[in-house]
Structure 1
Amino acid sequence: MAKHKFENKGPHNTKLKSEKPKNRSQHKRKGNKLKFSIEDETVEIGQLRDKYANTKVEEHSKFSDFPLSRKTLQGLSNGQYKTPTAIQRESILPALLGKDVLAAAKTGSGKTLAFLIPVFEKLFASQWTRLDGLGALIITPTRELALQIFETVAKIGKHHDFTTGLIIGGQNLKFERNRLHQLNIIICTPGRLLQHMDQNPLFDCTNLKILVLDEADRCLDMGFEMAMNSIIENLPKQRQTLLFSATQTKSVKDLARLNLKDPVYIAPHESEKYTTPNRLQQNYIAIELGDKLTMLWSFLKAHPKQKIIVFFATCKQVKYFYEIFRKLRPSILLLPLYGGMNQEKRNKIYAEFCARSNVCLMATDIASRGLDFPKVNWVVQLDCPEDATQYIHRAGRTARLNTSGESLLVLLPQEESGVMCMLEKAKVPINQINIDEKQLFSPLVKIQSFLAQSPDLKEMAKRAFVAYVKSVALMKDKTVFDVSKLDLERYAKSLGLLVTPRVRFLSKIGGKSKNVNTNVKVTLDENDEDDDDDLFTVKKQTVQELASLVNVPSSTEPKKKLTKVKLLKKSMITNKKINFDDNGDVLEEEMRNDAYDIEKARAQLRLNDIDDKERYKNLKKAKRIAKKEKLKRKAEEDDEDRFGSDDENSVNLDWLPDPDKVYSIETGKNEQVEGNTALHKKSSKKRKIAIDVKDITLNEAECLAMNLLQ
């Protein structure tokens, strides 16, 4: 639901009027949209419901023969849709009657209109408005397919008053969250829808009327199983469900998950001889792995003015082939499309490929499902598809809607028999063709030069090599995909690599064969740029699982690792001397007494170790004693300081005169008898005072001193 996408913003903008409309058609035209009164729509809805039960499928040769609303018919007319296809003719009427539909049809047969028309009619008959909330939910496995459906809705549903939103990864989540509750029709991928269900309190699907799964078999397989289970649990059980795909699922488990009620199975092409379009010319070639890049380069040089899609197994292969071919400057425009790209860039590449006529799209299986690329001349499957279903979807990008097209499947010699048997069971006609070696042009010298100049390009080539080996190793059908038969050294050289990268898991499990280099390293990393709508998912595997992939037994219990010391203990005999002759034969063996005695050396080491421990213990004890002595001396110094120093509140009496010197206790020593009586009395008084000072307190002595000073 990005800003640049189409979104019908007006609600049911109708007003009741007392007078009759002046025109006979009972409607008004405002701008490019038809506007009907509520009374007219109510009458029309009643008439349509009466026609549903009385209409037969055989009577529909045109869309105007269906019991459809005038707004839908006007949109179909504006989009130049006049005659329905087989799948549209057989599935629209049961869907209008409210039945669950399980439909399968060939690629390019018009399945999108087959479920969009019932969606519009269901909401129109319910007089759905913006206030009613979500009425229809359309889920697709890829973002590009969701975008294509959204554009079709904008084309044929512009006369309806329903609000429509596109909810896919890579867009502004906050922008979507604030407008989600206003939408009547949501077109989405499973991952982003589940994110809104978990995090957005405004999302409400309690009034849901119809659920559509486009490419239903892909939506319900292992890649989306957990997401789809969570989504289905949150949807109301009372709803109509439509399932459409080119290779429809009939699994009872899948149908039970969706809670289908007596579904109508529609497969108009099931009785036909082939499952692929009649005007699709299908061929295959068998070449060695090391010749694939040369073959593709020669093919592009031979078809400079054609519209081509080349399918690879992994994203890293698309990146490398796009970058190296772009440097080689072919005469055709190259475009890459894979899951890890920015969504805005993906949309731009998708639109550019649709608009051009001479262009080559290098893509993963993200472009194989449901996308309607106009006028594609060639589909080249450079890597073998996993199964017949994947082949049908890839080849179905050309020869759509009664147009012609060609498909080329590139196989390895060891893959040929298994794939032919697989396609024969799926009723796919295919012919073998041979390559004229004179038409092949190898760009290997230039590629090696580019890799020598660019370390980044060289690293990209290594990743492409590892990704391909990993994709082959993880395939289920081991009769077709056998990693032990791959000539990896030649394949690495064809990519421009002088040294074959190491495939670590092959060497660990002992995958040694004639053509496999056990130094090859496959890193099962988590940096593969896949998202919720990628159709190729690589999963982590344990060593035991990888052992089974190359048919090499692997123990479930890990063995004890033998160190060099343990090996020496087992095999080495000490103090033994062996003499050999010139031919290398043993002459004699003798035990040497003067040799180094290991047991004696070990005993001496133990004694030295005991001495070292004792010395270390004594050293630690001496340090503790020295520390205690130091602390003890410091404490004593603190005590002396505390009692010997002056306190703030103490009184210093050093300034007072010594009374023994001034006033002698013995009167005869210090007195000078004079004839003056007054002086004698004064001396007598002083002696009395001196005697009394010994018995007074400190405070009294201080007061006395102050008085004497005064």
Structure 2
Amino acid sequence: MDFSDLALSSKILAAVAEKGYIKPSPIQEQAIPAVLAGKDVMAAAQTGTGKTAGFTLPILELLSRGNKAKANHIRALILTPTRELAAQVGESVATYGKELPLTSAIVFGGVKINPQMMKLRQGVDILIATPGRLMDLYQQNAVKFSQVEILVLDEADRMLDMGFIRDIKKIISALPVQRQNLLFSATFSPDIRELAKGLVKNPIEISVNPENSTAKTVKQTVIPCDKKQKAKLLCHLIKENDWQQVLVFTRTKHGANRLTRDLEAKSINAAAIHGNKSQGARTKALANFKSGAVKVLVATDIAARGLDIDQLPQVVNFDLPNVPEDYVHRIGRTGRAGADGFAVSLVSADEHKLLEDIEYVIQEPIERKITEGFAPVNELPPSRPIKPFKAKKPKKVKHTHNEHKDGQRSSNSATGHKPKSKNTRHQVSGQDKASNKKTGKPVARKVHPDKAKQQGKKDPYSASR
């Protein structure tokens, strides 16, 4: 099947051909006809399989047939978890729809809100947004939802991981009941299926890869080493193998900054990208990495699903992720669109449990190779037999929101304990607690004389007067 067989307009097909694409990927081949038919869709495919074009192409086709958006209104809403992913989707919409009379906008936190409000005043056909900033705009009446025809949740599992469930539910409740719903995710976890119950209606379910599987085009290797030798080993690998473009993942922001300084000290051009960086700095670092001005981009997991780099050859896990599923998304940055990719993980002995969890999730052992001159003093335990993977049941937790530096919202799970009753009649004061602790006996509460008389009780202080 070619793209020309998918009932897309000549202008969209010309834009696709200009990008060099002739045949749709499996997820595109199944999703595009379903979206064009007006069906609700639940689609799962691993990173790098073309999910973004799977929904942007048919949305452009559908909206090009209708009326323009009114002032402050939008016709299609695409929700994404991170700034980088929002920018990537926005770029896809602009590229494929450049010959169409449609408008689009991208809104996310971490930048000034006024320019975004100005953009929305004219009305926007397609809005790509992160949940936190969208809620801010909605509460200020800068965006209205009554014209929304299509809702897309992109990387839905990541949005749940980041605690956006409450914002997502608020947004959904404000949308028109009659609309098309598209849910795209790397996995169909139990949590995603729970969310889908109140979102999609009689959906067409598409899954082109087993859950948490890694692309066959990515060769995976574990290099055992001591933690203190990791930075030195990475520099050695970059120079020895003449790596020209390397995406390196660290567990923390401070670790990313420290590693960047270590690489620069060894005359290796590097830049860091994480949540503490301004949007301008993140955009510049990514642009320099794509152009080749920066050889090594050091990132935290905020970038694991938001980076779209053509033909990225090399991904390095400097630290293993705490969440094993994130390993799949990290290495999914390479080996895209059928190209070969390489994923190397530098693993110290204290990370062996994290490695076991990753091998359990992907259901395969990862080859181990020791680099000459970097054999670890503390050996990495050998791989254990891998048990069959069992999906986790959906968690039922409450979330509370806090603003964080990314301009979006994060959440903390509630403890599950029932809140204290507002009725404090049986509670004792701090002084009473101290007496109880000291004597082990209950202490009678003192009652004000006037209140005691009103209640027809004996004045407790009368004997001393």
Do these two structures clear the TM 0.5 threshold for a shared fold by scoring above it?
A: yes
| 1:365 Cα deviation after fit | 0.7
Provide Cα deviations, 1:28-84, integer angstroms capped at 9, x if missing partner: xxxxxxxxxxxxxxxxxxxxxxxxxxxxxxxxx111111222332232233332210
Residue aligning to 2:299: 363
Tell me if the contact between 2:316 and 2:345 (Cα under 8 Å) persists in the aligned partners. Answer: yes
1:49-128 to structure 2, matched below 5 A, reads 61-125=1-65, 127-128=66-67
Percent same amino acid at aligned positions? 34
The aligned runs of 1:418-429 (5 Å cut-off) are 419-428=355-364
> What amino acid does structure 1 have at the position aligned with 2:290?
C
Q: 3-state SS of the aligned residue for 1:380?
A: strand
Counterpart check, 1:329 vs 2:266: yes
Q: Which runs of 5+ in 1 are unaligned?
A: 1-60, 441-527, 543-559, 562-710
Matches within 5 A, 1:280-679: 280-326=218-264, 328-330=265-267, 332-356=268-292, 359-417=295-353, 419-428=355-364, 430-437=366-373, 530-532=405-407
* Letter paired with 1:243: L
CA distance, structure 2, for counterparts of residue 74 and residue 345 of structure 1: 34
Question: How far does residue 151 in structure 1 lie from its aligned partner after superposition?
Answer: 1.4
Separation in 2, partners of 1:378, 1:358? 14
Q: Which has the larger share of helix? A: 1
Residue 401 of structure 1 aligns to a residue in which SS? helix
Distance in 1 of aligned mates of 2:176 and 2:337: 36
Instruction: Measure how far apart 1:116 and its partner are.
Output: 0.4
Q: Alignment partner of 1:172: what SS?
A: coil
Q: CA deviation at 1:167?
A: 0.9
**In structure 2, do the counterparts of structure 1 residues 129 and 538 end up closer, same or farther at CA, with 3 Å as the change threshold?**
closer
Equivalent residue letter for 1:385: P
Q: Which of the numbers 202, 206, 210 marks the counterpart of 1:266?
A: 206
Q: In structure 2, which of residues 154, 167, 171 is the aligned counterpart of residue 231 of structure 1?
A: 171
Is 1:309–1:380's contact at 8 Å kept on the other side of the alignment?
yes
Deviations 1:106-130 (A, max 9, x none): 22111111000121122123x2214
- Answer whether contact 2:106 2:127 (CA < 8 A) is retained: yes
Between the aligned partners of 2:68 and 2:413, the Cα distance in structure 1 is 48
Alpha-carbon distance, 1:342 to partner? 1.3
Question: How far 1:428 moved relative to its partner?
Answer: 4.6
Cα separation, 2, equivalents of 1:219 and 1:260:
17
- Is 1:254 matched with 2:129? no
Partner of 1:131: 70
The structural deviation recorded for 1:165 is 0.7
**Structure 2 letter corresponding to 1:374:** D
Counterpart amino acid of 1:402?
G
Q: Distance in 1 between matches of 2:413 and 2:258?
A: 23
- Is there any run of 5+ residues in structure 2 with no aligned partner, and where? 377-402, 416-432, 435-465
Q: Deviations over 1:210-258 (max 9, x none)?
A: 111111111133522232222222222221111112223343421134x
AA at the equivalent of 1:91: A
Give me the whole-angstrom Cα distance separating, in 2, the residues matched to 1:231 and 1:130: 19
Q: Are 1:215 and 1:370, in contact at CA under 8 Å, matched by a contact in 2?
A: no
Determine if the alignment matches structure 1 residue 147 to structure 2 residue 83. Answer: no
Change (3 A) 1:204 1:168: same
Amino acid at match of 1:292: K
Corresponding residue of 2:156: 216
**Whole-angstrom distance in 1 between the partners of 2:161 and 2:277:** 24
RMSD over aligned CA atoms reads 3.0
Instruction: Tell which structure's C-alpha radius of gyration is larger.
Output: 1
Q: Measure the CA separation in 2 of the matches of 1:352 and 1:269.
A: 33
Q: How far apart are 1:304 and its partner, in Å?
A: 4.1
Distance (Å, rounded) in 2 between the aligned partners of 1:68 and 1:410:
45
Separation in 1 of the partners of 2:197 and 2:160?
12
In the alignment, which residue of structure 2 is the partner of 1:204? 144
Q: Supply the AA of the counterpart residue of 1:192.
A: R
Number of the residue aligned with 2:117? 177
Give the Å deviation of 1:540. Answer: 11
**Relative to 1, partners in 2 of residues 1:372 and 1:276: Cα closer, same or farther, differing over 3 Å?**
same
Q: Deviations over 1:183-217 (max 9, x none)?
A: 11101111111110112x24111111111111111
Higher RCO by CA contacts (8 Å cutoff, separation 6 or greater): 2
Q: How far apart, in 2, do the equivalents of 1:294 and 1:355 lie?
A: 26
Moved more, 215-224 or 424-433: 424-433
> Which residue in the other structure is 1:242 paired with?
182
- How far apart are residue 371 of structure 1 and its match? 2.0
Between Structure 1 and Structure 2, the one with more strand by share is 2
